[in-house]
A and B are shown apart, each in its own frame.
Chain A
Amino acid sequence: MSTKAKIGRYVRYILYGILFISVGGYGIYFVQHPNINDLNRFLINAILGLSIFITLNTGLLSLANAGFMALGAYTSAILVAKMGLPLFLSLPLAMLLCGLLGLLIGLPVLRLTDVYLAISTLGFGEVVRVLIVTTPDLTGGATGANLSTGFPFEKMRQTETWMLVLFLLVLIYLFYWLDRSKTGRALRAIRQNSSAAANMGINVVYYRNLAFVMSAAIAGGAGVFYAHQVGSLENGDFRFSRAVDILSYGVLGGTTHWFGPILGAGLLTVLPIFLREVVGTSLDVIRNFAQLPLIINGVALLLVVIFLPGGLFAPSRFKRTPPAINEAELKDLEPPIVAVDSNPPPGESGEPPPLLELREVTQVFGGITAVDNISFKIPPGIICGLIGPNGSGKTTLINLITGIYRPVKGRIFLRGQDITGQKSYIIARMGIARTFQNIRLFNDMTVLENVIVGHHARIKTNLLTTWLRLPRERQEEQLARRQALSLLKRLGLLSFAYQPASKLSYGDQRRVEIARALALNPALLLLDEPAAGMNEVESALLAEFILALKRQGYTVLVIEHHIDLIMQVSNEIIVLNFGKKIAQDVPVGVQQNPQVVEAYFGQE
């Protein structure tokens, strides 16, 4: 255990201690002096925490929530106070509007990630505030929405604790089941590695937008309750500091489990109140030291960010005692291998088309031709090696085939079908799976879950089946699980099924990554340096593994520098040099090709 982890452990103990004392202490005080406003504030903040959770859990650092909260608050205020709608009708309308706007903004903005996304979403929050100020007839402008601008507080102040509790419970229900569904798995996969997720057939753009829209709608809902709690609004209620507050509920509480942000909101809301009420009345020093809660919050946040990157509440997703695996029920569940297609559609000349064909594919990066006019065909059922010196364009070629790049020239065909420039997730669904040069497993998942991610496109459930708990949901999930176990069994990885992917040895991780790719049921498997970093023994085992894949009918394109391995497994080898194909031949032919010897093997 590293020093950092040790300190993190104590930080967690201390913060839980503080939380326990504040919540417990304030709870006792609350029974004697109930102040419903404080409780409502916590509940609203908890809802805001869930709104930031759904984006953080998808790996999106969005600061738009304050803006959506403002939008929800003002929409409901206008609907209720000016148009006479009841609160329970204004809530779904405001949430719907926020969701729609979330979609509209998400489509362009979610192409950005990390700090760029944070800045642009922050910009959105400011735009909302400017909009409020510049539409005084509708919103009360800079004066605010209060009785002087047509928002009488008798009509405004309608938020009741039971509404907040009910809303929060509904959200918890939705999040609880979301986490256990195909959608939740996809969101987590995107957070851990979005490019790997795309190559597993997950439509990353769709899921990012989904998370953003849900976040917007929830923040809008919180805004509705906020508006009807405080009874008057100003654009200043939703400035930058609000966005930061909301973010800190997630960061402090935890971003991997829905309970985290509720806990974070609890700590950041209750602690200052606890200090004010319980400690403040007995200790004049603290009462006068008004900044103390801010300092405590700041220090807590800092400690958590440094020592507990997952947040305060980050329960292990891995069960201590994995469920027993009934090997008998795994029989006959192996997904059919599409690679051995007995009746392939006829090509132009009447012959069956090759599995993969590249025609004059060229890719240029800033004046450097990384892939230069390359054409080749790979027939089904073979193992094809792809070799060449470093920088000769091998990985670029794989990135072109899997849709990460779009070639500047040339076309790529899968089973005679043009896939040039298709999106990664579509190419993955059409039957091309890959592994990465640097392992990109989903480390917060078990080996089994990693493989189930590969079933994503085949699981026909959606949010509706998830939240309505339709029988199909359970059936599909169980089928996927059994099929994934069956695949692991076939590959001899069954004993790892319930282990965290990150805990496996390097060689085993490589094999799991291949298993995950195979879960897509691919026609073609692309392996990018599978033996990198392996010793002789591991590399020999891998060769066996690849040969076993071939016997099971898979078509494989493998990039490798371990020349022994390539020679051992390949039926055919393609050699690249400076982006050009210099040879395509059987292993012996390549070994004797003078051009290849000069470029790659070196002259003796």
Chain B
Amino acid sequence: MNEGRFSPRFSFLVFLSLVSMTLLAACGDNTATTAITAAGSAATAGSAATTAAGSAATTAAAGSATTAAAAGNLSGEIKVGALVTLTGNNSPFGIAIKNGYDLAVSEINESKFLGGATIKLVALDDKGDKQEGISVMSKLLDQEKVVSVLGPTLSSTALAADPLAQKAGVPVLATSNTANGITQMGDFIFRNSLPEAGVIPGTIAAVKAKLNPKKAAIMFESTNEFTKSAADVFKAELEKNSIQITGTEAYSKGDADFRTQLNKLKAASPDILIVSGLIGEAVPIVQQAREVGFTQPIIGGNGFNTPTIYKDGKEAAEGIIVGSAWFLGSTNPKSQAFVAAFKKKFNTDPDQFAAQAYDGAYLMATAIKNAGAANSKAIRDALAQIKNYEGVLGTFSFDANRDPVHQPVTVIVKGGKFELFQ
């Protein structure tokens, strides 16, 4: 075995190369940081002066007559970055999202949406990891010098990486982040993905309008912050619509038998059952509810918003009502065109994430067009001005906090697929 070992001299060389790398980097660190800080402070200092002028300009540019002229000033290749999760557990989301971006960008470039200019999408894999997210975000900012960024796929990555873009004054448009605190990170951070709290009011309003329930029962997973807070939003909305809550039952992730809770809730004979849970428990809950004789309509939270609910739930899933930012069968012509194009290009149906990504890329292109310049600050201001954009998600606007405003849809499972609830 000893012959196989390297001499101490060799080991020392390896060590030396690592040390020298460390030292080099330590020197590089200061310059890099100062560069970002300088750029950041310049942007902030300039912002006060230019905001008024910028917003005036963009308001004017938003008018259809001047739009073409503004786009006409653009030329060459405009680099837009994207952080997508292509490896790891969450890669199915990231791949759908990247497909959405790719489809939109190729359409934008083919249709000369930006006049003489084209968008070059620099999509990097953040691996769903914060440290990797920070690294590739700074690569997009420092090396690729992108004018704006789409993504990242996960909220956790966004919370780690977006502050870099905020500091550098580069706008970020998230198309799948629904966690709290995303847009609070700063005035350069936008999103077009509705958090669950934004979907639920529409769902309850639709249910109230069509079914007019008087009493409701709630079942929720208490071991998950998202299902828990969604349950709270459901409660608030029920109260707002003066629907009486006859019972609330909690369960834990991984539970398999829900009959006790369901029987208890059934005893108060509510008109509807609301379930705020993840898909793993959603299917058995729905099946057992039907088993114990719950015939009333079931309203699901965001966890139910997947074909798995009717594929695995079979007959028990029939009649389940779910709120969603978007759905495949939407009659919106923009949405229908998107579905057809997506199917043609990727040979599969798009999901909600692809739809939001596709719309997000168009929103970014629209902002670039309205800004009339490949300038991050101008693009940010133009993004903030977007009102009543007609896209796949419907009529879309950003609110004052750069969060999305659009009408979510309410769907119902009928004949083994989602249909618009109307």
15 pairs across A/B with beta carbons < 8 Å? A1-B4, A19-B14, A23-B14, A23-B18, A34-B24, A35-B135, A37-B135, A142-B226, A143-B225, A157-B163, A161-B22, A161-B29, A162-B26, A276-B124, A276-B136
* Shortest beta-carbon distance from B250 to chain A in Å: 13
Given the contacts A31-B28, A34-B25, A36-B28, A232 and B135 also touching, CB distance less than 8 Å: no
* Shortest beta-carbon distance from B6 to chain A in Å: 7
Most buried by B among A5, A147, A162, A236: A147
Contact status A143-B179, CB under 8 Å: yes
Contact status A229-B18, CB under 8 Å: no
Contact status A27-B159, CB under 8 Å: no
- Which B residues touch A259, using CB under 8 A? 11, 15
A313 contacts the other chain (CB 8 A)? yes
- Which A residues touch B143, using CB under 8 A? 33, 35
In the A-B complex, the 9 residue pairs with the smallest Cβ-Cβ separation, listed nearest first, are A148-B181, A34-B28, A142-B225, A9-B4, A148-B180, A232-B159, A39-B25, A230-B130, A37-B135
Question: In B1-59, which residues have CB < 8 Å from any A CB?
Answer: 1-6, 8, 10-11, 14-15, 17-18, 20-22, 24-26, 28-29, 31-33
Q: How many angstroms between the C-alpha atoms of A23 and B16 in the bound complex?
A: 11
Contact status A35-B139, CB under 8 Å: yes
B70 contacts the other chain (CB 8 A)? no
* Shortest beta-carbon distance from B415 to chain A in Å: 36
- Which A residues touch B91, using CB under 8 A? 290
B185 contacts the other chain (CB 8 A)? yes
- Which A residues touch B134, using CB under 8 A? 37, 229-230
Find the B residue at minimum CB distance from A266.
B18
* Shortest beta-carbon distance from B276 to chain A in Å: 14
Q: List 8 additional contacts besides A39-B22, A290-B86; criterion CB under 8 Å.
A: A12-B5, A30-B25, A35-B143, A41-B135, A143-B225, A147-B159, A148-B179, A148-B181
Contact status A290-B21, CB under 8 Å: no
A207 contacts the other chain (CB 8 A)? no
* Shortest beta-carbon distance from B357 to chain A in Å: 18
A43 contacts the other chain (CB 8 A)? yes
- Which A residues touch B14, using CB under 8 A? 16, 19-20, 23, 263
- Which B residues touch A277, using CB under 8 A? 139
B318 contacts the other chain (CB 8 A)? no
Q: How many angstroms between the C-alpha atoms of A306 and B86 in the bound complex?
A: 30
Find the A residue at minimum CB distance from B139.
A35
* Shortest beta-carbon distance from B278 to chain A in Å: 12
* Shortest beta-carbon distance from A140 to chain B in Å: 9
The interface bits of chain B over 171-195 (1 if a CB of A lies within 8 angstroms of the residue's CB, else 0) are: 0000000011100110000000000
Most buried by A among B33, B156, B224, B226: B156
A38 contacts the other chain (CB 8 A)? yes
Contact status B181-A315, CB under 8 Å: no
Given the contacts A35-B135, A142-B225, A229-B134, A147 and B184 also touching, CB distance less than 8 Å: yes
Could you say which of A148, A153, A313 contacts B11, with CB atoms under 8 Å apart?
A313
* Shortest beta-carbon distance from B256 to chain A in Å: 19
Q: How many angstroms between the C-alpha atoms of A313 and B6 in the bound complex?
A: 9
* Shortest beta-carbon distance from B403 to chain A in Å: 13
Q: How many angstroms between the C-alpha atoms of A16 and B4 in the bound complex?
A: 12
Contact status A41-B29, CB under 8 Å: no
Contact status B29-A237, CB under 8 Å: no
* Shortest beta-carbon distance from A167 to chain B in Å: 12
Find the B residue at minimum CB distance from A33.
B143
Main secondary structure of the interface of A (DSSP, over half): helix
B125 contacts the other chain (CB 8 A)? yes
- Which A residues touch B21, using CB under 8 A? 23, 26-27, 30, 39
Contact status A273-B135, CB under 8 Å: yes
B66 contacts the other chain (CB 8 A)? no
Find the B residue at minimum CB distance from A146.
B159
Could you say which of A26, A33, A229 contacts B131, with CB atoms under 8 Å apart?
A229
- Which B residues touch A236, using CB under 8 A? 156
Question: In B311-352, which residues have CB < 8 Å from any A CB?
Answer: none
Contact status A161-B25, CB under 8 Å: yes
Contact status A12-B6, CB under 8 Å: yes
Could you say which of B32, B185, B223 contacts A153, with CB atoms under 8 Å apart?
B185
Q: How many angstroms between the C-alpha atoms of A208 and B226 in the bound complex?
A: 41
B308 contacts the other chain (CB 8 A)? no
* Shortest beta-carbon distance from A130 to chain B in Å: 9
- Which B residues touch A234, using CB under 8 A? 156
B interface list, Cβ under 8 A from A: 1-6, 8, 10-11, 14-15, 17-18, 20-22, 24-26, 28-29, 31-33, 86-87, 91, 124-125, 127, 130-131, 134-136, 138-139, 142-143, 156, 159-160, 163, 179-181, 184-185, 223-226
Q: How many A-B residue pairs have CB under 8 A?
A: 152
Contact status A30-B33, CB under 8 Å: no
- Which B residues touch A430, using CB under 8 A? none
A262 contacts the other chain (CB 8 A)? yes
Could you say which of A8, A36, A237 contacts B25, with CB atoms under 8 Å apart?
A36
* Shortest beta-carbon distance from B157 to chain A in Å: 9
A407 contacts the other chain (CB 8 A)? no
Most buried by B among A153, A262, A277, A315: A153
- Which A residues touch B138, using CB under 8 A? 35-37
A321 contacts the other chain (CB 8 A)? no
Contact status B11-A147, CB under 8 Å: no
Find the A residue at minimum CB distance from B137.
A37
Given the contacts A27-B21, A230-B160, A5 and B4 also touching, CB distance less than 8 Å: yes
Q: How many angstroms between the C-alpha atoms of A141 and B181 in the bound complex?
A: 14
Contact status B2-A316, CB under 8 Å: yes
A14 contacts the other chain (CB 8 A)? no
Find the B residue at minimum CB distance from A310.
B1
Q: How many angstroms between the C-alpha atoms of A308 and B159 in the bound complex?
A: 41
Most buried by B among A143, A232, A259: A232
Q: How many angstroms between the C-alpha atoms of A26 and B125 in the bound complex?
A: 18
Contact status A316-B5, CB under 8 Å: yes
Q: How many angstroms between the C-alpha atoms of A266 and B139 in the bound complex?
A: 20
A314 contacts the other chain (CB 8 A)? yes
Find the B residue at minimum CB distance from A36.
B29
Find the A residue at minimum CB distance from B166.
A153
Contact status B18-A294, CB under 8 Å: no
* Shortest beta-carbon distance from B153 to chain A in Å: 13
* Shortest beta-carbon distance from B91 to chain A in Å: 8
- Which B residues touch A314, using CB under 8 A? 5
* Shortest beta-carbon distance from A26 to chain B in Å: 8
Contact status A36-B33, CB under 8 Å: yes
Contact status A315-B11, CB under 8 Å: yes
Given the contacts A38-B135, A237-B130, A273-B135, A146 and B181 also touching, CB distance less than 8 Å: yes
The interface bits of chain A over 258-272 (1 if a CB of B lies within 8 angstroms of the residue's CB, else 0) are: 010011001000000
Given the contacts A30-B21, A232-B130, A144 and B156 also touching, CB distance less than 8 Å: yes
The interface bits of chain A over 143-162 (1 if a CB of B lies within 8 angstroms of the residue's CB, else 0) are: 11011110001000100111
Could you say which of B24, B32, B87 contacts A27, with CB atoms under 8 Å apart?
B24
- Which A residues touch B31, using CB under 8 A? 34
* Shortest beta-carbon distance from B168 to chain A in Å: 14
Q: How many angstroms between the C-alpha atoms of A38 and B2 in the bound complex?
A: 35
Could you say which of B5, B10, B124, B156 contacts A232, with CB atoms under 8 Å apart?
B156
Question: In A145-199, which residues have CB < 8 Å from any B CB?
Answer: 146-149, 153, 157, 160-162, 165
* Shortest beta-carbon distance from A245 to chain B in Å: 10
Question: In A272-309, which residues have CB < 8 Å from any B CB?
Answer: 273, 276-277, 290-291, 294
Contact status B160-A231, CB under 8 Å: yes
A79 contacts the other chain (CB 8 A)? no
- Which A residues touch B179, using CB under 8 A? 143-144, 146, 148
- Which A residues touch B124, using CB under 8 A? 276
- Which A residues touch B33, using CB under 8 A? 36
- Which B residues touch A23, using CB under 8 A? 14, 17-18, 21
A352 contacts the other chain (CB 8 A)? no
- Which B residues touch A41, using CB under 8 A? 131, 135
Find the A residue at minimum CB distance from B24.
A31
- Which A residues touch B20, using CB under 8 A? 27
Could you say which of B1, B8, B18 contacts A5, with CB atoms under 8 Å apart?
B1
- Which B residues touch A30, using CB under 8 A? 21, 24-25, 28
